[in-house]
Structure 1
Amino acid sequence: MSALDGLDERQREAASVLRGPVAVLAGAGTGKTRVITHRIAHGVDTGAYTPSRVMAVTFTAKAAGELRGRLRALGVGGVSARTFHSAALAQLNFFWPTVAGDTAPKIIDNKVRMLGQAADAMGLRPSTATLRDIAAEIEWRKVSMLSIEQYAEQQRPITGIRSEQLLELQAGYELLKDERRQLDFEDVLLACAGMLETESRVAAAVHEQYRHFTVDEFQDVSPLQNRLLELWLGDRRDICVVGDASQTIYSFAGAQQRYLLEFEKRYPDATVVRLETNYRSRAPILAAANALMRGRPGALDLVPAGGAAAGPEEGADARPGVAEAPTVTAYDSERDEADGVAAAIADRIASGISPADIAVLYRAHAQSAPLQQALAARGVATSVLGGTRFFDMPEVRQAVLGLRGAAVAPTDAGFLPTVRDVLRGLGLTDEPPAAGGAQRDGWEARRAILRLAEDAPDGTTLRVFADELMARAKDQHEPALRTVTLSTLHAAKGLEWPHVLLAGWAEGALPISYASTFEAVDEERRLAYVGITRAARTLAISWSRSAGRGERAPSRFLAEIGTSDRGTGILRDVAPSPRRAARRG
């Protein structure tokens, strides 16, 4: 069986080119991770690649874990699939003793704490919120490869501290860090890049080790990450970048989509493949997404796959006349909006839809609280994305330890009954506790572990299952909880759900109030695009006419996706809230 089997024509084209520069422009839901892993597997199968000489880099530990897991499923082991930071840190720790004659510096775990200590030494008392903003500025400065002096020429104002104090505090932070012989997260990349630039033997060793590079989410690369990538490459040209300019949503953190958009300028002979067949979303959802991004740099024109049978991955039925048009609902207040969203979700669950298939996405963390309260009032359990990781939950750690202990002293009860007994002993009951709160979260976590056991292949032993849980924890391969997901738009990137509700589409919320420039509003538009393209089957958008005492207008993005050159009616308007209708009467 070939690694190219099951790929569509464009995916196969992208996965077949194993040498030279390759750019895969992959729209949302077009199978980019599939292409990355099958391309590497094809290279290994054909002998073009030695696994240990392949480096695949991405931006999150979870994404790197997914790459490793998919490669293992394709029978490929030994590939270095890491984040930029973990790859740089591994090289730094390996080469530092040779270069410096000492162990590598320790990595600080809390930039804000050290900034506070530097501020104390200066006699300053900035708030914790101000310190967090300063920490973000330091991160942006470093990934943008700016010295403090260069930063001084273009620094952005921060509430609670004067410009000269900000510069002095940054210098004090760096001095304190040097005195303690420590590095921060961004220093890892800077130090690794500096080592490769100045130590020819280190560069030669890295170039000998890694011959073929794949970079996922290339639209999110910062100047510093791009420089490090150039140093890893040296004068070689075997690089494959994968990305979507329409999903550049981290410009505030230093991401620059120009590296993706200008890839062909740097490599005029590059193979460029556009993936535009979407296997996730139904046609009306894609129409809204395309309308929002039409004419923007690097925008792709997504087309539905035409049903699950039409493509290599599970698709969404996009046949004309079947798919629902996205809806827009206006509410009087944010409280009304939260209640309306909760009521719509409760109705869907009552109709048989699993809570795990539903997500509510919003622009800012603060929007989650009223949504959680409204859903809890209807008995709907929720999980907030970006909260405690599944395998870091105390209930999960207890369960894994309990199962490992039971594996050491096996009984005659059998695999599944033993798993049930262990979990019941830790608090799993037949019926869940009342929705909301830590008790319900713990119950859902234990129930997720039981479902993994129930779905395990025949013949699975307790020891094998416990080892599988440990491997999942290492790769951050979390099981799905049967809860409604609440998430910011940023945290939802890379994920998908059958049913998505987008809340807070009002001016001042999306685009957010401080997005005052064309570039900033364009970033908000890309955030909106990411939200839309998370939905597979249904999409519901809502906004409120007031926030506190202030009046609000609908988001300008609603007008943009409400009409297009393909005609009107992409969005189906929904009647205003009952309270407003009653007042009108």
Structure 2
Amino acid sequence: MKFAQLNDQTILLTPATYNRIAAWRSEGDHLRCPACQAPLRLMAGISFEPYFAHPENSECAWKELDQPPDEWLAAASAEAAAAVESEEEAVKIGSFRLPKKRAITDTDSTPPADPPLYRKRLVPKQTIQHLSEKQAEPLHPAQKQAVLTTEGPLLILAGAGSGKTRVMTARTAYLIRDRGVDPRTIMVVTFTTKAAEEIKQRIGQQLPARQARELVAGTFHSIFYRMLLHHQPERWEQGRLLKKDWQKWRLLRETGALAGHEELLALKEGEVEEALGVISRWKNEYLLPHEMIERDLKSEVEKHAQQLYPLYEAAKRKHGWFDFDDMLIGCYELLREHEAIRTRYQERIRYVMIDEFQDINRIQYETVKLLAAPQNNLCVIGDDDQSIYGFRGSDPQYILGFTADFPDAQTITLEVNYRSRSSIVGLGYSLIGNNRTRWNKACKTFHQEEGETYLFYPDDEEEQASRIVDEITHQLKLGASCGEFAILYRTHESARPILERLTEARIPFHFTQEEESFYDRQTVRWVLGYLRLSLHHDDSAALKEILPTLYISQETWNTLRSQAILDDVPILHVLPKLPQWKVYQRKHLQKVVDILTECRNCTPVQALELIYEDCRLREYLKKRRKERSDTAHERGSDELQQLLAAAKRHATVEAFLRHMEDMSQKEKEWRKQQPLSGEAVHVLSIHRAKGLEFDHVFLPDLVEGALPHEYALDEVRKRGWSALEEERRLLYVAITRARHTLSIGIPQERFGRKTRPSRFVAEMGR
């Protein structure tokens, strides 16, 4: 159904009115069927034209119509034409002008010259050749060649979806079964425990269980740690492992390691964690404390890391602790410095195979080279186009320079993508071809089907989330299952509205929260505190929450509370009346009271604007950001804008607060619940999605500043390109997770600011 009744007027879904979808969606129960008066739901997804949906089991005769009957439409049009739209009036509260709410109708049937963008197909710039001959054999020629090449160094360039796990499994089985190699002399290294278990499981299906168990397979950390425990058990006792950053910070504080370093003691926990992350990256690059002391470092985070590094290492040595990075360094130094031990392992390990080689770091690579020598039966398999862990010290230069380190190495390219349909493969390769530093690879697609690749243009991040969930809902009704869908985001800020819409639609989802809850962030708590006070002037907890934003110390809290009890008035009313205030303070505090009194009669958006500007919350955050360097305060402005975007969907402050409290509670449930065993939509970061695949993939927020991220754009402005190339690889990974469909969101506003489509859109398609 393409029409509905809203406030006694008719609205029509046409390209000329698509720009009103977000506003109409917010009307909720006010959307009615003109014939049966049933409430309608506005469905505006991606792959289909928007429509109004009747409740299930409705028998309304009009529900399949695109246009109402002519006689009814004529009467409605005449009524609409007779109405005279009044000029917009305004009410002034404080210094902020509040527009009166206007009816959302469309009486002008003339479409604009350029109808608002709703969606369009994205056609890849590069056409990908289909595999001409599909053989019945389980391996195509390049895969078979990789399996049979067992001696000497070998580089296998395995593009996305090219069957690298199948090749690794077949190659290992071939060595054991056909070449008679003892499985105890084969080492298979993966980057995740899950990948190692998958390879063991697959090998166990092809070989006797005993042989599969004897294979040396695992992550770098697990294999290297077993070696350390065997040779130096007293030094590497598992109970002495520092697993979390807070444990490292506690070690530094409680052992007195920072005594005499007042500037380090003054650091916030977030600043310390950032510095520890930098130290970890240096250790993975085998940059030791004495090497970093003389470095000229520019960023504050690196300067903090430079100071902390020797103190942290000394504290660990003194008290017998170690971290994950120490395992890698310890194993490398064990092999390098003890010739007998190194020779023993070199004679034991005859074949080494490394998965995801593009993600290797220096200390891992140097250790592997020691283990593989002198036979150098070293097989590395990976894709330089999927190197996305630079923040952990990974560097694609190791896979790019492998043939320089091993001049006699053979190179085999697995060029057939078995996963994705042709248009998705074409977009990925059109994009990644813009990187300057990469191996050039031929590419073919196994599938003849083109697949569906869309760009869609929602108003903002809230409408973007609604459209994604509408699309999933629509596809579920057509027979799809929840587990076929994945929503992949670049930064966690993109996830919040999506999770809220999924929750409201009661669609099950998998989500792993890695950051502090949005609803628990300090800026959000301050804003919600103001709103709660506007409804309940005696909400003492809310007032106590916002005191810092009014430059009032917590010591004044007891005075405020006592005075409110003595005067028997709401605690907010006492705020401007304390005798110690100077004239300008008293005037501002009285203004805050007046504004909060008026806010209860405002829409949530109007109330937030008053709080941000007239109550000077935005000004307070700007000042705080200048005084502090930690990233938590850098994002405060974005959090204000996210709240504004979320508030648009609610008619009253009370409804908005109720929504926020409900979402906060539900998020606590998300954190506690175990991963769902049944079918569920996958909501995860692009980094976490690497190695996975889904039938239908949504990529929200493909705009400048989000992907590519702002930090990469900063580097470009300084004439650097490496960060931008990693962002391009990140998007390539995201695209190539999709099997059948790919939907890319380009919100016209994000965090209240106009956006520009990501430069990557023009690079990959037309």
TM-score by length of 2: 0.58
Distance apart, 1:436 and its partner CA = 6.3
Question: 2: distance between equivalents of 1:300 and 1:495?
Answer: 22
Of structures 1 and 2, the larger Rg is shown by 2
Structure 1 equivalent of residue 206 of structure 2 = 74
Are residue 329 (structure 1) and residue 456 (structure 2) matched? yes
Question: 1: distance between equivalents of 2:314 and 2:388?
Answer: 32
- Output one character per residue of 1:527-584: Cα deviation in whole Å (capped at 9) or x when no partner: 0000000000000000212222322111110111124xxxxxxxxxxxxxxxxxxxxx
Structure 1 equivalent of residue 337 of structure 2 = 198
Structure 2 equivalent of residue 181 of structure 1 = 320
Distance apart, 1:87 and its partner CA = 0.8
Q: Give the 3 Å change call, closer, same or farther, for CA 437–364 of structure 1 in structure 2.
A: closer
Aligned positions of 1:302-313 closer than 5 A: 302-306=443-447
Aligned positions of 1:17-36 closer than 5 A: 17-36=149-168
User: Does the Cα contact within 8 Å between 1:381 and 1:440 map onto a contact in 2?
Assistant: no
Q: Which segment is superposed worse, 20-29 or 542-551?
A: 542-551
User: Does the Cα contact within 8 Å between 2:747 and 2:755 map onto a contact in 1?
Assistant: yes
Secondary structure class of the residue paired with 1:29: coil
User: Does the Cα contact within 8 Å between 1:380 and 1:484 map onto a contact in 2?
Assistant: yes
Distance apart, 1:208 and its partner CA = 2.3
Distance apart, 1:104 and its partner CA = 8.1
Structure 1 equivalent of residue 681 of structure 2 = 484
Secondary structure class of the residue paired with 2:711: coil
Runs (5+) with no aligned partner, structure 1: 307-317, 389-434, 449-480, 564-585
- Output one character per residue of 1:252-308: Cα deviation in whole Å (capped at 9) or x when no partner: 2111112211222222222211001011000000110010011531143432113xx
Structure 1 equivalent of residue 406 of structure 2 = 267
User: Does the Cα contact within 8 Å between 1:361 and 1:488 map onto a contact in 2?
Assistant: yes
Question: 2: distance between equivalents of 1:233 and 1:243?
Answer: 18
Question: 2: distance between equivalents of 1:20 and 1:196?
Answer: 21
Secondary structure class of the residue paired with 1:331: coil
Distance apart, 1:347 and its partner CA = 1.2
Aligned positions of 1:29-178 closer than 5 A: 29-75=161-207, 76-77=211-212, 78-97=214-233, 106-118=240-252, 121=259, 122-123=261-262, 124-152=265-293, 163=303, 165-178=304-317
Q: Output the amino acid matched with 1:25.
A: L
User: Does the Cα contact within 8 Å between 2:286 and 2:363 map onto a contact in 1?
Assistant: yes
Aligned match for 1:524, one of 713, 724, 727: 727
Question: 1: distance between equivalents of 2:459 and 2:324?
Answer: 44
User: Does the Cα contact within 8 Å between 2:502 and 2:508 map onto a contact in 1?
Assistant: yes
Distance apart, 1:442 and its partner CA = 8.9
- Output one character per residue of 1:89-138: Cα deviation in whole Å (capped at 9) or x when no partner: 000000115xx899688321223332354256444132222122112101
Q: Output the amino acid matched with 2:379.
A: C
User: Does the Cα contact within 8 Å between 1:20 and 1:237 map onto a contact in 2?
Assistant: yes
Aligned positions of 1:514-553 closer than 5 A: 514-515=711-712, 516=715, 517-553=720-756
Structure 2 equivalent of residue 234 of structure 1 = 373
Structure 2 equivalent of residue 347 of structure 1 = 474
Question: 2: distance between equivalents of 1:502 and 1:156?
Answer: 36
Secondary structure class of the residue paired with 1:274: strand
Aligned positions of 1:448-463 closer than 5 A: 448=677
Question: 2: distance between equivalents of 1:445 and 1:230?
Answer: 39
Q: Output the amino acid matched with 1:551.
A: K
Structure 1 equivalent of residue 147 of structure 2 = 15
Secondary structure class of the residue paired with 2:143: helix
User: Does the Cα contact within 8 Å between 1:500 and 1:535 map onto a contact in 2?
Assistant: yes
Distance apart, 1:507 and its partner CA = 0.4
Secondary structure class of the residue paired with 2:407: coil
Q: Output the amino acid matched with 2:246.
A: V
User: Does the Cα contact within 8 Å between 1:219 and 1:255 map onto a contact in 2?
Assistant: yes
Distance apart, 1:505 and its partner CA = 0.3
Q: Output the amino acid matched with 1:224.
A: I
Q: Output the amino acid matched with 2:345.
A: V
Secondary structure class of the residue paired with 1:487: strand
- Output one character per residue of 1:458-480: Cα deviation in whole Å (capped at 9) or x when no partner: xxxxxxxxxxxxxxxxxxxxxxx
Distance apart, 1:360 and its partner CA = 0.3
Secondary structure class of the residue paired with 1:126: coil
Question: 1: distance between equivalents of 2:235 and 2:295?
Answer: 38
Q: Output the amino acid matched with 1:219.
A: Q
Q: Give the 3 Å change call, closer, same or farther, for CA 116–236 of structure 1 in structure 2.
A: same
TM-score by length of 1: 0.75
Distance apart, 1:168 and its partner CA = 2.5
Secondary structure class of the residue paired with 1:298: coil
Question: 1: distance between equivalents of 2:484 and 2:235?
Answer: 54
Q: Output the amino acid matched with 1:378.
A: A
Secondary structure class of the residue paired with 1:287: helix
Runs (5+) with no aligned partner, structure 2: 1-135, 516-664
User: Does the Cα contact within 8 Å between 2:513 and 2:671 map onto a contact in 1?
Assistant: no
Question: 2: distance between equivalents of 1:500 and 1:162?
Answer: 37
Aligned-CA RMSD value: 2.5
Are residue 356 (structure 1) and residue 488 (structure 2) matched? no
Distance apart, 1:74 and its partner CA = 1.6
User: Does the Cα contact within 8 Å between 2:512 and 2:671 map onto a contact in 1?
Assistant: no
Identity %: 30
User: Does the Cα contact within 8 Å between 1:30 and 1:275 map onto a contact in 2?
Assistant: yes
Q: Output the amino acid matched with 2:196.
A: A
Q: Which segment is superposed worse, 287-296 or 236-245?
A: 287-296
Secondary structure class of the residue paired with 1:35: helix
User: Does the Cα contact within 8 Å between 1:22 and 1:241 map onto a contact in 2?
Assistant: yes
Question: 2: distance between equivalents of 1:223 and 1:328?
Answer: 39
Distance apart, 1:153 and its partner CA = 5.2
